[in-house]
Structure 1
Amino acid sequence: MFVRAVYVTGDPAQTEAAVRALNSEGRSLLEERPEYRGACVFVDRELGKLLALSWWGSEGARRNSDQVMRERRGPMLEPFAGTVAVENYEVAAFHAVQPPRVGGGARMTRMEFDPADADLFVETFHASAIPRLEALPGFARCALFLDRDSGRGSVGVLFTDRSAMAASRGGQAAARRQDAVKARVRVVALEEFEVVHADVHAD
């Protein structure tokens, strides 16, 4: 699968309007496109941040949806959007044990790596990160996103509730340090969000 990630910042007071637009008009637009596999919307209401992910069965389907979404994205996110950044990734790993819940927690870790180490990153994630995450109370699912050419990646972990996410922070800090060394990656950002919507059909 492939993912388009739209990262939006703006006035926290306008966040709810953007969330409603993404969950109604945005979802309707996506569902009309071929090979659409689902969407996620994560929010930080205090700071005024939105992360919206759309999932696609092929890179071509993701690319073909770009024009329609580019034209509609700006008007749909007004008046909230102050900045909008769009990135595209390959889904290098996806592992789910239970459905995420509205109001649950989402942790996103952004990383950089030498493109030559992309396969090592994927192997380390499967062998080390997934088993550790599975053991966490409240773990729902995780995914690894890669842009192999640029050497950028992101790990997303969803929890059934935000208290479970908070309880995992200490242990995950140690695991993150160990796995970053094994995979030869650099952690460049760590963020947490509330789950507004998360519906992905991997098969």
Structure 2
Amino acid sequence: MYARSSTFHGKPDNIDAGIRFVQDEVAPRLDATEGCRGLSLLVDRETGYCIATSSWDSEEAMAASDELLRSLRDRGKDILGASLQVDSWEITVMHRNQHGECCRVSWIEGDLDTMAETFRVGIMPQLEELDGFCSASLLVDRSARLGCATTAWESRAAMEASRSMAHDMRARAASDADGMIVEVHEFDLAYAHLHVPEMA
């Protein structure tokens, strides 16, 4: 399974228009595209930072869709008043109890195979014990030695309560992978319509 993320640094006042665009135009187009397994949209209403991620059955299906969806990304950029960065990922871990209300995303550089093993064996069991935990995923970009770990929570309060434990988990993942934490950011989950199978 693979994923493509479109990262926008836009204007906070344009977030609602961006969400409507994803719901009304982007999602129906993706639903009709062969090999697509759905779409999520993360937003930070205070900063205008947004990430739209589509999931795909194969790397070939994802690549074949690029030209078709480029115009939608450009329109999203215009609507949000944003800069745009597009990244491709391999999905190595996916576990979902439910979608949740908000997400914490952590980007970590390092040995990706070790990172994935730590995530599966060391971190997932701890996450399952935390109140309000909904889902977790790990995407990797092997060419950049970069992992993108996302955890979803049923409420902002639950996510905030998990911060100390999450800090320790990130530190362990980075240490085990002989790497470093690049960025951590918390978002609202504005749209979630994903059909990626369990991959734990």
TM above 0.5 = yes
| Number of the residue aligned with 1:9 | 9
Gaps of 5+ in 1: none
Mapped partners of 1:90, 1:175: distance in 2: 21
Structure 1: distance between partners of 2:114 and 2:184: 21
Per the alignment, in what secondary structure is the counterpart of residue 137 of structure 1?
Answer: coil
Match of residue 33 from structure 1: 33
Offset at 1:201? 1.2
2:81 alignment counterpart: 81
RMSD: 1.2
Is the 1:43–1:194 Cα contact (8 Å) retained in structure 2?
Answer: yes
- How many Å apart are 1:11 and its aligned residue? 1.3
Distance, in Å, in 1 between the alignment partners of 2:80 and 2:128 is: 36
| Correspondence for 1:171 | 165
Q: Distance in 2 between matches of 1:177 and 1:19?
A: 33
Q: Are residues 1:189 and 2:188 paired?
A: no
Aligned residues of 2:42 and 2:52 also touching (Cα < 8 A): yes
1:33-52 matches, within 5 Å, as 33-52=33-52
- Select 1:107's aligned residue among 104, 108, 128: 104
Does the aligned pair in 1 maintain the 2:19–2:191 contact within 8 Å?
no
1:120-159, aligned counterparts within 5 Å?
A: 120-159=114-153
In structure 2, runs of 5+ residues without a counterpart are none
Query: Please, what TM-score do these two structures have when normalized by structure 2?
Result: 0.94
Aligned positions, number: 197
**Are 1:201 and 2:195 an aligned pair?**
yes
Q: Could you say what secondary structure the match of 1:149 adopts?
A: coil
TM-fit CA distance, 1:175: 2.2
Cα distance between partner residues in 2 of 1:168 and 1:182: 21
Per-residue CA deviation, residues 130-158 of structure 1 (Å, 9 max, x unaligned), is: 11111111111111000112211100111
The CA distance in 1 between the partners of 2:79 and 2:193, in whole Å, is: 26
Q: How far does residue 185 in structure 1 lie from its aligned partner after superposition?
A: 2.5
Aligned to 1:70: 70
| Range with greater deviation from structure 2 (47-56 or 169-178) | 169-178
| C-alpha distance in 2 between matches for 1:81 and 1:127 | 41
